[in-house]
Structure 1
Amino acid sequence: MTIDWRSKGFWSPDASRSPEQVAAERPSIFGGGFTWPLLVVRESAVRANIATMAAYCQRHGLEFAPHAKTTMAPGLFEAQLRAGAWGLTVATPNQALVLRRFGVERVLIANEILDPTALRWLAAESAAGWEVYFQVDSVAGVTAAAETGGPLRVLVELGHLDGRTGIRHLDELEEVARAVDAAPGVELAGLTGYEGQLPDQAGVDEFLDRMVAAFELLDKQDLLPPQPILSAGGSAWFDRVADRLGDLRTRARLVLRSGATVTHDDGFYREHTPFVRVADEGPLTAALEIWAQVLSAPEPGLAIVGMGKRDTPFDEGLPIPLEIRASGGPARAADGLRVSKLNDHHAYLAVDGAEVAPGDLIRFGISHPCTAFDKWRDIPVVDEERQVVDVLHTYF
């Protein structure tokens, strides 16, 4: 991994350095070695979030397999595993390949896999000793897995109406589980589901209660192994997972998959984290910020900032102005500023009662970390003085 002209945000037109060299220098992001926009990760916030989730899972008898697709950053994989994560979750075989190459010993793929090329690779890696699991929600998925000859471990997935993947009805769930039981080289390791798209607690609780009913059905039919995996939990409802599935912790390995918790955010997850409901169990702290420069103030009430859809997430809310850093002046709160829209490389800033001028730097919080990391190849990790102490590399 080399920091050079290919690394967005780092100003290295001629030189190249290793991340270790950058960290040893501890440069300030304001010292001339960086350009704007620039995404950074606050080290203290990440450490606190990882510790908070590790402690939460321990208190509630949960294993943690955080969704690595949020960051695809090996530096953060390692930090979560050191803190006691049972494994890591991914969404695709390509992401699983990245984790395999970085030596992650236990991986859940939260998807059905039908691609024979990927299935053959998974079977070969499983035969070589890798502990990897993926989901099935159809007999076709079981048949595709069996055609490799195995060995493959799968989780049957329960879904809900108007949701994403997953079997909608319990009788169909039993049918798929029986197909796994009969398939040579395919082993049923447990049951999984995803509640994160449901709009309210009542719907989430109802779905999780159906997961309990599904578990009891499969157990009664003697389709589950001695210590089955029971897995759920996005980043918005993991408290309900702990509450509704908790009675099964003596009969199953309960695995939580919340991925956005590692960095949290200043938008969607700030409002939807379970620690809003159970404040004494948290909190999480926003660890991602983007620094961008005001390029123009062409008319009253409007400023144009050099940051756009190529740089920041926008699918779960626009960036949130937090701080203004004027040239030669003290930092101040970004009161009276609001991002109204984004182009590819520009943000439109509505200005109401604030003073901003071309050249000012603005610190933005983001909403939805899962679509922030994929826009940056190399990301500085900074201390509270915005000195770089590490560099993350992403693999998207």
Structure 2
Amino acid sequence: MDHPAAHIDTAATAALREERVDWRHKAIPPAFWGRTVADVLAEAPRLSQLPTPVLSLSRVAMTHNRDVLAAWCAERGMALAPHGKTTMAPQLWAEQIDAGAWAITVANLAQLAVARAFGVSRVIVANAVVSPLALRWISDQLTEDPGLEVLVWADSARTVSLMHEALAAHSADVGPRRPIGVLVERGGANGRTGARDEDTAVAVAEAIAASPHLELAGVTGYEGALAHTPDEAALAVVHTYVDSLVSLHRRIDGLMPAGRVPVVSAGGSAYFEQVADALSPLVAGEEARVVLRSGAYLTHDDGFYRGISPLGASPRTSGPGLRSALHGWVRVSSQPEPGLALFDAGKRDLPFDEGLPEAQLLRARETGAPATPLSGVAVTALNDQHGFLRWDPAGEAPVVIGDELRLGLSHPCTAFDKWGLIPVLDDADAADPVVVDLVRTWF
């Protein structure tokens, strides 16, 4: 089945290079304030010219990850709708779309507005939308742009009723509008949202099909809320859940509007091999457009996803492994007692909800010398603006005040939101990496 890629306004993303950087961008040193992004990049600054703390992305690792998952999905006949909430960076969305992404996924109206500001032509809103204000705006967007497709979710008849009432009133006020596409969300026990049984989900589909202001578009769900480990029991739970999406699709397929290719979509960067396996009968029979909504794969990480991804440290599927493209760079600012150093980054700078950072490298103390691996140390806590690095107090201190360290990070979804402008390095393993891009985020 053909999966035509979405479109994005490349002129709008290119225009980001004309933005001026200043004190609002904590990754940028005063020496560059007042210059455009293009001017800064033209000087090819080095990592050593940036202040600490700083979050960085690796160009070589992101390019690798982008191409690996695009090829992995294509080999299995699946479409990819990367979850844009991970990065909220239209520059990176553009790369994913250029690599064939069928859509960009977002989680709410504010994120959808960013996607629309950059001309993304097909967006999945992975949530129920019940606000009349939001529904009216989406309805207007669809009517003003015939090439736009927006799919939202519903998991109850009441949700559908509220959507119908809001859109009916809006249509009465301003005239006929294009219907909004809706995916029926199937949930699982102890999961997040989603109809907990198939009969309820079928009733939701029937309610959508009965509304002239809505259009049944298919089935969706999120398996990541049902398991958090890669053991066999967790994988079985995920596979059984994704099987339920197939069953629901087959029960409601007769309600689909003529000419619409049904979508069956599951999410996640943790269990996408289970998704592909369970949904493979739909691909083989061309019964539906199977859409994967992974988001964290683009940067991967050195924590949660390294441990649980099917292409992580313990692979569960074929294909090249993903690489961490996400790092923190910090400076030791205090050594108040044996076995303890404090560095200049904390919860406001680095993710901590899915595991603390790990100390990886000591930046060279001499210009041109390679970085050296750090061992026998651990980041044990983060305060708002400080990090705690500990080692055996009876041993020799591995760091001194002023040393710069590279940290591996866990959970990209809570890393990007702390930085409005993120330097992209040519290669985070280089002695003094070159800044090759600056990525703008909207949170």
With normalisation by structure 1, the TM-score equals: 0.96
Structure 2 alignment gaps of length 5 or more: 1-18, 169-176, 228-233
Number of equivalenced pairs: 393
**Aligned match for 2:304, one of 268, 276, 295:** 268
The alpha-carbon deviation at position 194 of structure 1 amounts to: 0.5
Aligned residue in 2 for 1:344:
384
Q: Structure 1 stretches (4+) deviating beyond 2 angstroms?
A: 221-226, 276-280, 326-330
Partner of 1:222: 255
Distance in structure 2 (CA, Å) of the matches to 1:170 and 1:279:
30
1:364 maps to 407
Name the CA shift for 1:279/1:218 in 2 (closer, same or farther; >3 Å). closer
Q: Does 1:244 align with 2:291?
A: no
Q: Any idea what the Cα deviations from partners look like across 1:260-286, whole Å, max 9, x if unmatched?
A: 001000000000011233353231100
Query: Does 1:183 pair with 2:201?
Result: no
Q: In structure 2, how many angstroms separate the alpha carbons of the residues matched to 1:304 and 1:326? A: 19
* Residue 280 (structure 1) aligns with: 318
Give the stretch that moved more between structures: 329-338 or 242-251. 329-338
Deviation at 1:95, TM superposition (A): 0.2
Cα distance in structure 1, aligned partners of 2:344 and 2:129: 40
Whether contact under 8 Å (2:20, 2:33) holds in the other structure is no
Corresponding residue for residue 15 of structure 2: none
- 1:69 maps onto 2:85 in alignment: yes
Are the aligned partners of 1:318 and 1:367 in contact in 2 as well (CA < 8 Å)? Answer: yes
- Alpha-carbon distance in 2 for matches of 1:42, 1:159: 36
Q: Deviations over 1:301-347 (max 9, x none)?
A: 11101110000000000001110125326421011111101100001
Residues 222 and 184 of structure 1: CA distance in aligned 2, closer, same or farther (over 3 Å): closer
Query: Which one-letter code corresponds to 1:30 in the other structure?
Result: S
Q: Which runs of 5+ in 1 are unaligned?
A: none
Q: Conserved in 2, the CA contact under 8 Å of 1:205 and 1:240?
A: yes
Distance 1:280 1:155 in 2: 30
Aligned to 1:106: 122
Question: Quick one: which amino acid aligns to residue 385 of structure 2?
Answer: H
**CA contact under 8 A between 1:90 and 1:109: conserved in structure 2?**
yes
Distance in 2 (alpha carbons) for counterparts of 1:356 and 1:299:
13
Paired residues of 1:190 and 1:224 also in contact (CA < 8 A): no
Distance between the aligned counterparts of 1:279 and 1:324, measured in 2? 34
Given candidates 226, 246, 256, the residue that maps to 1:198 is 226
Cα-to-partner distance string for 1:200-250 (whole Å, 9 max, x where unaligned)? 10100110111111111112x534654100000200000111100011011
**RMSD after superposition:** 1.4
The partner residue of 1:254 within 279, 282, 290 is 290
Amino acid at match of 1:71: T
Hey, what does 1:2 align to over in structure 2?
A: 20
Instruction: Specify the code of the residue in structure 2 equivalent to 1:252.
Output: A
Deviation at 1:2, TM superposition (A): 2.0
Q: Secondary structure at the match of 1:280?
A: coil
Partner in structure 2 of residue 16 of structure 1: 34
